Each structure stands twice: as structure tokens, then as C-alpha cells.
Chains A and B, each alone.
Chain A
Amino acid sequence: AQTVTQSQPEMSVQEAETVTLSCTYDTSENNYYLFWYKQPPSRQMILVIRQEAYKQQNATENRFSVNFQKAAKSFSLKISDSQLGDTAMYFCAFMKGYSGGGADGLTFGKGTHLIIQP
């Protein structure tokens, strides 16, 4: 079974600052995917960024980037030039890769509540 650990229950930064959210995971799988989801007060989970484990290059999406360290099983999210709208719960999630027989669901961490202060 996989586990995902987010060790920062809450973080607070000033607008325009850069913030890094931590995530570690444990798995014996070699083929998998990692995701960061954002959950604002509206409750809807929104995909922020994804990373395929077989890719060495770190994923980036505009102001969002990851630092994927496969050997260390670490997958941190960096948010640059933070904005008030970034305030939300952020969840790190793991998914086994498809192997022809179907895929498991996502395994989520407990989340980090990120607060962007004006």
C-alpha cells in the first residue's frame, strides 16, 4: 500500500512571496504518477500539476513547479509570486501507473492549508 505524508498542516506567506509545500511518499511501485491538487473553500478539487515518475524533468505550470526527487520519494510544490487566490488546502496525491488491468484510485496526504496574506 502507498502512503503520502504532508508534514505542514498550515503555512502562511505574504502576497508575491515564494512558498514551498512538502510531500513525501512511500511505495514499492516503479511506475506511478504524483499530483498536487488545490481545494478552495468551494470544495472542488482542482488539479495544479502532475508528474510522471518515469520523467526526470520536473513539471512546471506557470507559477507552479515541483521538485521531484524519486530516490528520496519527495515531491514538493513551489508557488512563485503567490496571489491571494492561491489561498486553499493543497493535497499531494499518488496514483499507481496503469498496467493493463486497471488503475487504483488516488492516495492523498492530509493536506496543507496555505494562507496568502495581503
Chain B
Amino acid sequence: DAGVTQSPTHLIKTRGQQVTLRCSPKSGHDTVSWYQQALGQGPQFIFQYYEEEERQRGNFPDRFSGHQFPNYSSELNVNALLLGDSALYLCASSSRPTGSVGRGTEAFFGQGTRLTVV
């Protein structure tokens, strides 16, 4: 089992450019979440995808968008990059519980993409 894989591992972009980050979930997982982790901080939730739709979103501007493909892999797109977008971007996968209230599932994380905006 390859676990959660993210690409690329490192990326340098210029302010104003656009970037696409990719994530393949752990085998058997159908839900993908994206997080932004600034240096010295805890990760912050960007959004979550399930059944190819954005299901939940954190407090991030519309410059941050995503996509989920039929094979459950996902992309994170960031437009009009700002210096403040420099961070580690983490992808986490999980599986939707089949039960109702009271069922939860762990999120498995990839190693992240380090984005530097110059």
C-alpha cells in the first residue's frame, strides 16, 4: 500500500502565477482533504472533496480551488499567488463511514508539497 502520495515535493513559483498540486489517496479511501501549514504553525483546513464535489471549505479565498477525479485523486489549484501562500500543503485521505452519528475515521496524510512563492 503506497499510502497517500503528493506531487511535486517542492515547488518554486513567482508571485501572480498559478500552481497545481496533486494528491493520490490511500487505497480504499474516497475522501480527500487539503491543508495549508505555514512555517511554525499547525495545518489549516482548506477544503474537502468527496464524490468529485467540494463538501466542506475552510476560511480560504476563491483563489484556492480543487478537483477530484473518478479515481478519487485530487488537485489543489491556487491562482494569483501571493508571497503569503508560501507553505507546506498537505493532502489527507479518509473513507466515509457507512454508519451515522458516532462513526469517525482517521485521516492519513501525505508528505506534503513545499510551495515557495518569490
Contacts and interface: CB of A to CB of B under 8 A. Distances in A.
Interface of A: 4, 31, 33, 35, 37, 42-47, 50, 52, 54, 91, 93, 95, 97-100, 102-111
29 contacts: A4-B42, A31-B101, A33-B104, A35-B106, A42-B111, A43-B88, A43-B112, A43-B114, A44-B110, A45-B92, A45-B109, A46-B109, A47-B107, A50-B104, A50-B106, A93-B42, A97-B102, A97-B104, A98-B102, A99-B101, A102-B50, A102-B55, A102-B56, A105-B33, A106-B45, A108-B43, A108-B44, A110-B40, A110-B41
B84 interface: no
Contacts of A44: 109-112
B85 to A, nearest CB: 18
Contacts, number: 79
Interface string B30-74: 000101000011111111101000011010000000000000000
Contact of A52 (B43, B48, B102): B102
Interface of B: 33, 35, 40-48, 50, 55-56, 58, 88, 90, 92, 97, 100-104, 106-112, 114
Given A102-B50, A105-B48, A47 B106 contact: yes
Given A43-B88, A44-B111, A104 B45 contact: yes
A40 to B, nearest CB: 11
A36 to B, nearest CB: 11
Contacts of A46: 109
Nearest to A46: B109
A111 B42 contact: yes
A95 B104 contact: yes
A31 B45 contact: no
Contacts of A100: 100-101
A50 B88 CA distance: 24
B56 A104 contact: yes
A51 to B, nearest CB: 10
A52 B45 CA distance: 20
Given A105-B58, A111-B42, A52 B111 contact: no
